[in-house]
Amino acid sequence: MAASMQEKCEVHVTKPKSPRKGSYTQVMIFGSSIVRHIRGSNIWKNSHVAAKSNCYPGAGIAEIRDHINVKLQYNQLPETVIIHGGGNDIAGGMKVEDITAQMEELCKELKTKGIKNISVSGITPRYLLKTEVPKLNNALREMCKKNGFDYISNSFITYNYHLVWDKIHLNYDGVDQLESNFSKYLSWVTRGKK
């Protein structure tokens, strides 16, 4: 009887898929729901750089890190990774220092994997966090400067003109501005950061 049950169990066991090494994107963007509407086609139009956006609604940096590790396991390494994370962490009450430390650890991990350009995208405004968001962005900028990572400032995205009714997510103008910021950064990167 045990042998019969063993046979039935083995039928359902499948061999894990091997990594797809044929799939390649020059740039991978990882973030929370803020990057939901970022389109690689729009970035291509503005910078002539192939980019793919990966959105994980509600994710903090720890969850984004897990998703990045899975994604990179099944794809060729991109030259550039842009990370937009930390907004959900600060909204959940995490300290600026802890968020910055998690982001630093993630960026260093990506560097050891062989990612050439690593960029942190500044957190976009949140209505109830008007003082916390600038503090976090300043800490992230300093962390990037200290470690040789790139920082994308999103300071032109404002509460009054770029957020939808929930005062967290971006409206169409906000998405356009974020795409424009990413495109300008990627154009700079492809020119050799000159």
CB 119 within 8 A of CB 152: yes
Kindly report the pTM of this predicted structure: 0.86
Q: Which tokens hold the place of 54?
A: 């990966």
Go through the domains of the chain in sequence order and give each one's CATH number: 24-190 (3.40.50.1110)
At 76-128, the pLDDT tens digits run 899 999 999 999 999 999 999 999 999 999 999 999 999 999 999 999 999 88
- The CA-based dihedral angle spanning residues 70, 72, 73, 79, taken in that order and rounded to the nearest 10 degrees: -170
Q: Enumerate residues 6+ apart whose C-beta is below 8 A from 96.
A: 90, 132, 135, 136, 139
